[in-house]
Chain A
Amino acid sequence: MIKLEPRGQHSKLMAWLSPVFAGILTLISGAILFALLGQDPLEALHTLLIMPVSDIYGLAELCVKAAPILLCAIGLSVVFKAKVWNIGAEGQLLMGGLIGSACALALIDAEGFWVLPLVLLAGMVGGALWAGLAAWLKTSFNANEILTTIMLNYIALNLLIWAVHGPLKDPDGYNFPESAMFSDSALIPTLIDGTRIHFGMLFALLAVVIIWVLLSRSFLGFQIKVLGLDSSAARLAGFREKRLVWIALLISGALAGLAGVGEVAGPLGQLVPSISPGYGYAAIIVAFLGRLHPVGILLATLLMALIYMGGEMAQITLGLPVALTGLFQGMLLFYLLACDVLINFRIRIPALSKSAADKLAVKEEAVN
C-alpha cells in the first residue's frame, strides 16, 4: 500500500513552479507520443506550439481565441477566491451573447458611436443577470451554486437555440438558425488590417488589471479572500457574506457576458447557435492552472489557446487527429494535479519503512 503524508511546510516557490513542471512533463510526454506516432518529435512540437503563432495573423488569432477564455477565467478567479463555485461561466457567456445580439439586432438600422457600447453593456448585463440568478438562489434558499450554475448553463443554451430559431432568426435566411449580420456600428473594430484581432483583447487585458487591483489592493478584495479562506472569520469580522456572494457572482457573470458579446459582435458578426465551443468550461481549467492569479491566468489562457490552434495546425500539416488537442490539455492537467499532490504530500510506502511506522504507532499509543 502507498500512503500520502502531508508535508509540514508549504513551499510558495514550489507552488508556482508546479505549473512549469507540468508544462515540461507534458512536452516530454508529447514528444514521446509523437515519436510513437511515427513523427519527428521536434518538428511535431514545432508545428503544435510555434507554427500557429509564426506570423502576425497567427498572433492575432491567438488573441482572438484567448480573449473570451481570459475574460471568463479572470471573472472566475474572483468567485473562486470567495470559494463560490461558479461552474456557469459558459451559460453566462451564452446569455451575454444572446442579450447583446438582441440589442444589436434591435439597433440594426441605428448608426453612431453609442451603438457598440450599448451592445457591449447589454451583453455584460445579460451575463450578470444569469449569474445573479444563481446568487439569488444561493443567498435566499441556500441552493448549492455548483448545481444551479451547471443547470443554468443548459437553460441558457436552450434559450439561445430558441431565440436563434425564433425571434432573432434572419428573416432573409431561408429559415436557417442564425441571425442577420449586425450593422457596422455594432461591430467591434479590428486593431490590425487583415486580421481579426479586435478591441475585445484589450478589454480582457484591462479586466486582468482591474481584477488584480481589486483582489490585491482593495478592501472588497480582502473581504472576498477572507470569505473564501474562512467564512466564519468573515462573519465574525462583520463582513456581509450574502452581499459578497452577490458581488463576486455579478462580477464573474458580467465578464463572462462580455466574453459572449465579444464573440458575436467581434469575429462572428451575427448570432449563431454555437458561439462558444466550451470557453466557459475551459476557463475553469485555466483559472486553476493559473493559480487564480491574474498573471498566471493570462499565461495559462495563452497556453490553452495555443494548444487549440496547434491542434488545428497539426491536422493541416501533419495529418494528426484532433484528439491530440484533448490529449495535450488532459496531460497538462494530469501533471499539474500530480505535481501539486507531490509538492503538498510525500509518498510513503509503509512496507519499506515498517520500523519507522512501528515507532510512530508506539508513540501514538503512548499519547493515548
Chain B
Amino acid sequence: MKRRQFNKLLTGVAAGIGLSTALMSGQAIAADDPLKVGFVYVGPVGDHGWTYQHDQGRIALEEHFGDKVETTYVENVPEGADAERVIRNLAQSGHKLIFTTSFGFMNATVKVAKRYPDVKFEHATGYKMADNLGTYISKTYEGRYVAGYVASQMTESNKIGYIASFPIPEVIRDINSVQMALNKYNPDAELKIIWVNSWFDPGKEADAANAMMDQGVDVILQHTDSPAAMQAAERRGKYAVGQASDMSSFGPNAHLLSVVDEWGPHYIAQTQKVMDGTWESHAMVEGMHEGAIVIPSFADSIPADVKAEAERLVAGIQDGSIHPFAGPVVNQAGEVMVPEGEVLSWEELEKMNWYIQGIDAELPK
C-alpha cells in the first residue's frame, strides 16, 4: 500500500513538473525564441563520412535560418541503452525537432516519441513511424551505380573490392547496384566483398583494403565511413571511391569520385515545416533528383569518354530516365525478379535481402 502511494506521489510530482514546463514552453513560443533542433549522431563529427555529413547538414541548417534556429548535437552515442536517455534529454531540454541519424536509434526514438507528443522526431534509415515520428533515407544506390560504372572502366585486373559494414537492406541494395553496373558495362569484372561488421573502424577498414589489394583488387568501393581505405589505396597506387563525404583530399591520386550525402536540404525543409506548423509524419526517400545524393567531381584520371558516360548516367538518374535496377533483374538462383521494361520498386528495394546474379559470394547469415 505504502509503495503504491509513494509511486502516486512521484507521478503527481512528475505531472506537476510536466505541466509547469509545458506552461513555460508556451511562453517561450510566444516570446519568439529560436526553434531548438537536436541531432543524435552515432559517430564522431570528425569521421569524414556518415556523421560528418549529417553535421554538415546541421551547419547548413544554421546558416539558412540564422538566429531563428538553435541546433544541438550529441556525438558518439552508442546504439544501446544510452540512446534513449540522450534523445529524452534533448526532448526534455526544449528541442522541438529531433533527428536521430542511425538505424540503431529506432526503438529508442519510438519510445521517447511516445512520451513527447508535441516534439517532432525524424529517424534516418528506419521503418517504424508514429504521428510525431517520421523516417528519411537517401537513395545511395543511385550514386553507387555510377561508381560501379566508373570502377568497371578503371579496373585493369577486373577485380573490384567492396568494403561492407552490415548485411542490412541498405548495404545489400548498394552492392547489387554496383553489380548491376558491372553486369551491364563489364561482366568480366568480379566484385570481392569483405564484411567488417562496423560502420566506423579505420583500422579494420584499412586491413580490409590491404587484404583485397593483396588479392589483386585495383579499385576499392566502401560502405563504411572512414577514409582509411582511400588512404590505403593512395599508398599502393590503386583507385578508390569515397563514401558519404567528399574524400578527394585523402587520396589525391587514388580518388575517382565520391558519392556524397547532402542532408542540408532535407533538414532545412523539415525545419521550415515545423516552424510553419505543417510538419506531418512521413517516410521520405530522396536521391539524386532531390539533390540528396551528389557526386561533386570526377577525377582527372578518368578518361574523357568514361567521364561523359558517367555524367550521362547522373543526368539520366536525376530526370528519372535511368534506373539502376531496370529489368531484367535476375537473382543468384537465376530467377527473374523484375522483367524487362519494369524497375524494382522502392517497396522491394527497402527490404532487399538477396544478391543479384553475378555476385560470386553468399550473403552472411
Contact = CB atoms under 8 A, between A and B. Distances in A.
Interface of A: 55-57, 61, 64-65, 158, 161-162, 165-166, 174-178, 181, 192-194, 196, 263, 266-270, 272-277, 308-309, 312-313, 315-317, 319, 321-323
Interface of B: 7, 10-11, 13-14, 17, 38, 44-45, 72-82, 84-86, 88-90, 92-93, 103-104, 107, 127, 166-169, 172, 197, 350-353, 364-365
B197 A277 contact: no
Given A267-B81, A316-B90, A273 B166 contact: yes
B20 to A, nearest CB: 13
A164 to B, nearest CB: 10
A319 B88 CA distance: 17
Closest 6 CB pairs of A and B: A277-B78, A267-B81, A175-B353, A322-B76, A174-B351, A315-B74
A317 B93 contact: yes
Nearest to B38: A316
Contacts of A275: 80-81
Contacts of B72: 315-316, 319
A63 to B, nearest CB: 12
A57 B38 CA distance: 20
A327 to B, nearest CB: 13
Contacts of B85: 61, 64-65, 196, 309, 312
Contact of B44 (A174, A181, A308, A322): A322
B44 A272 contact: no
B79 A56 contact: no
A176 B103 contact: yes
Contact of B166 (A61, A65, A165, A309): A165
A6 B340 CA distance: 82
Contact of A65 (B74, B82, B90): B82
B3 to A, nearest CB: 10
Contacts, number: 109
B14 A194 contact: yes
B168 A175 contact: yes
Nearest to A321: B75
Contacts of B353: 175
B7 A192 contact: yes
A312 B350 contact: no
Given A162-B365, A316-B74, 10 more contacts: A175-B169, A176-B103, A176-B127, A193-B10, A194-B14, A263-B81, A273-B197, A277-B80, A277-B82, A312-B77
Nearest to B7: A193
25 contacts: A57-B92, A64-B81, A65-B81, A65-B82, A162-B365, A175-B168, A175-B351, A176-B127, A176-B168, A192-B10, A193-B7, A268-B81, A269-B107, A273-B79, A273-B166, A273-B197, A274-B80, A275-B81, A309-B85, A312-B86, A316-B90, A321-B75, A322-B74, A322-B75, A323-B44
A322 B77 CA distance: 9
A162 B76 CA distance: 24
A319 B90 CA distance: 12
A269 B350 CA distance: 25
A194 B11 contact: yes
Contacts of A268: 80-81, 107
Contact of B127 (A65, A158, A174, A309): A174
Nearest to A157: B197
Contact of A274 (B92, B104, B168): B104
